[in-house]
Chain A
Amino acid sequence: MKILKNLAIATTALALLAGPAAAQSESSTLVVAVPSDPQSLEPGTNRAWPVGSEVILNVFDTLVAWSPPEFSSLEGRLAESWTVSEDGKTFDFKLREGVMFHDGTPFNAEAAKYSFERTSELNSYVKATFGLIESVEAVSDTELRIMLSAPYPAFLSILAQPQAAIVSPTAAEEAGEGFASNPVGTGPFKFESYSADTSVVLVANPDYFRGAPGVERLIFRVIPDASTRRLELESGGVDIVQQQGQLSSPPAQDVAELSENPDITVLEVPSQIIRQFEFNNSLTDGPYADARVRKALTYAIDYEGLLAGIFGGTAERVYGPLTTNSWAFNPAMKEMAPTYDPEKAKAMLAEAGVDPSELSTKLYSFQGQLWGAIATFVQANLADIGVNVEIAQTEFPSYRALHVAGEHQIALDGRQPWYNDPDAHITIGYLSSLKDSAMTFRMGEDAELDALIQKAQQTPGLEARKELYFEVQEQIMEKVPGAYLFSPKLIIFHRNNIDGLVVNSAPPLNEYWSVTKN
């Protein structure tokens, strides 16, 4: 035992022994725990992979960004100001002067034009939105004009995404395909190194146009196991743990226990993420094609029990296709939303003339503890009204493939909006022409609803759009595309010596420029 104790003293002293430089950097180095290796650290190839996207937001800048802490209005970043034409198709930007990329290349309209064209060409992920760009024109060094082929009021939101960040043209040309592992932007941090499955190291950019960041180094440490991440946070091995939209585990237990820890602060921020129990809405025969049956099942789910039991207050109820914090949320949804009433569910099934045993099928779900818990809960709820479903937790690639092919009848699914606009949920989720394009609700053809969705997407003026989205939500609810289960809060744990962390909700990625460590 004594030997072990000596060993302990020796090892704790080692970091100090390793040199004064190492010991010094600890107080000015921010360590963020992330669950997986980052993928593609540049806008041209990143496809909304959370870890890579967060790195991008800290190395690069976008033209515009949502202003903290409310994230309800846009502010200029590399753009100083902008105007939108009457018809909503022309966007004129006045760009910031005197900004340099990390490699010394000056930022100007040509660089922005280059970035947008490069990303449109390379990145199939942004095809739907960047495809609307008709032309990008560098009017002068500081003036940029973007023309769209159709009006798209959410376009500025699109420009705030990490995929719309501005890259250094010289560095991107020079590095070619290697740019993804050696990104150069204008952001608060410069990329220093990446070691596989271990970490990404960024260093402060002292010349950042908004001022030098609060820490000298920013390290993203890859720790795949959730319980190990928590242990590292408690022991001080990492400063911040972001739950990444709770893909790994329901954080209720961790939140309850960590809020009692005097060294740790728990940040909870409402998100616009929606998780649902959904139907394959393009089925034309079988019991699930009957809206009465679908409606009956939505009454079988114990929504409040799920929120309290599994999430312990770390998630909120979702009533319809949009979260309550969306500007387009229709309050009538609260009336239209189903309530937990298994007897009513049984009666509705009987009324539809469907025996619960006919509804036996596979309930597809993502992998991981969180989805396992939700699936278990939904399965038990359905079993209570006599519907026996078999849970199939499936790896993402195969799940996506069978979902896009429409091989399922019921599934657990969700959407994490990547930009702050109802469009992010509605268009991709419910437009019938997009049903095979991604994991959507696979809505059956309905010209009226489709037209309404497109009109809501393209009409200029917030109030007018709001009206239209109200109507869209009511029409969607009548079709019972699924049972909206919950919206998880973004939960971030950080040690108490961290100040100035602002949590962004859509996309749920953090900028660490303002963070300081004491």
Chain B
Amino acid sequence: MELLSGGEMLIRALHDEGVELLFGYPGGAALHIYDAIFNQDKVEHILVRHEQAATHAADGYARATGRPGVVLVTSGPGATNAITGIATAFMDSIPMVVISGQVDSSLIGSDAFQETDMVGISRPIVKHSFMVQSAEDIPIIVKKAFYIATTGRPGPVVIDVPKDVTDPARKFEYRYPESVKMRSYSVPSKGHTGQIRKAVEILLSAKRPVIYAGGGVIQGNASDLLTRMARILGYPVTNTLMGLGAFPAPDKQFVGMLGMHGTYEANMAMHGSDVVLGIGVRFDDRVTNAVSKFCPGAKILHVDIDPASISKTVSADVPIVGSVTSVLEEMIELIRQSETQIDKKSLDMWWQQIEGWRAKDCLKVTDAGNDVIKPQQAVQAVYEATKGEAYVSSDVGQHQMFAAQYYHFNKPRRWINSGGLGTMGFGFPAAMGVQLAFPDAISVCITGEGSIQMCIQELATCLQYGLPVKIVCLNNQSLGMVKQWQDMQYGGRYSHSTYAESLPDFVKLVEAYGHVGIRVTKLSELSQKMEEAFALKNRLVFVDVYVDPSEHVYPMAIKGGSMKDMYLSKTERT
């Protein structure tokens, strides 16, 4: 049996848990832990430039790999800076473990220097949290933290560690537990077979079915199963913003993303359906529009691992609680066994109707003229330059929606965005996390000139670790989505959404950080410059693309309507 200090135990336990990377920032209360990091070489620590970026980087790493992201911050401001990233991970159910330093146990509650109640502050945005009372508890707490973060519906777990607990002078016997069992935490696995059977029969008897798949399919590594089932059935598939890549976008059964900025065909199909199979989705308000008008003729079959997601907004006719993998496996088997035949004639008619909607070509891009670049064209250029093989992260706003609409995700875990919380500043650090996980892959952050400035300090981190992230900034010189809403709902009064005269010269800025900057202002130069940028494989390149500032994202759901109520352009609506 080895004798280790609390700080050493923490790092050793991370290693024993299989952690390779740790994103963090040191400070007083975490210094014993940082000393333990210095004295080992098993867990690599990445020094970010702001704790928010540490959480987003760990989050990006987790989304791309499926493994938990790990963060280490100090007490007080270190901990509070991590909050936005923890909330982001919580809303999108991303497995993450955040270790925060805390002041000495004896000082807790005394308003000590850099003291904050991290367990209290993070409580509503974590799956669970721990305050370490004694160093001997560290192995079991770390084990439990990873178990909770990664099982069931995943989420962030905070471990708050008072400094005295990590004291290098006090050593304890260390043994990492092989397994953990908690009487108060059980993970649902298989769904109820009777319910699954019922769902399969309804699904097979459907005349106008839609498969509506979300982030749960990606988190549950069930994309292959989903694709297999969809192909057996021949039914149309739509993905949520969080689910893009769960079903291959180029497939003819894919009708595109649904929801607020979903395709015309996806939203029309949802509204006109008679059976909706929701898998790993939560009937979010950005999908359903007015719940009372949602899919009026449809029976709702809902599969999710979280019972609280079922019938939260839309009542499910057949609720199934279970892991998407096990439920889909069982469904496929039952579909094979069932004597109910798919109504081919109705399905053909349904597809004809969908093809009619698809023919509207709602995402068609027409040139703006005068060599002006449309933001959609910039995303298309990224797609072409990367041959659809990149990991694409995004920030939040118009560029996020354009990326979701125009980068056709063929595989799961390639689309990394803050769907639930909608966190500006997420994309760039997340792209760093992706690049660290897959050094040889293309990691590109599609962003805007607003969002990128919320975590731009990470340019320094990328230089330090040689991360050749590509940043494509759709620069419309304004907070595009805010401005779009102001155009549509506030009579074009641009209250605090423009700042063209005070934008930095991004090319010079990234050069000052030691990277490469490319400015693109003409459509005729777009593809060539984009190719140039992606050809610089070992450098971080910032492509500042000046785009048409007047462009809006369409389709767009009409507030208070049903899913078929959409604006299709500035002048056309359904």
A binds B: no
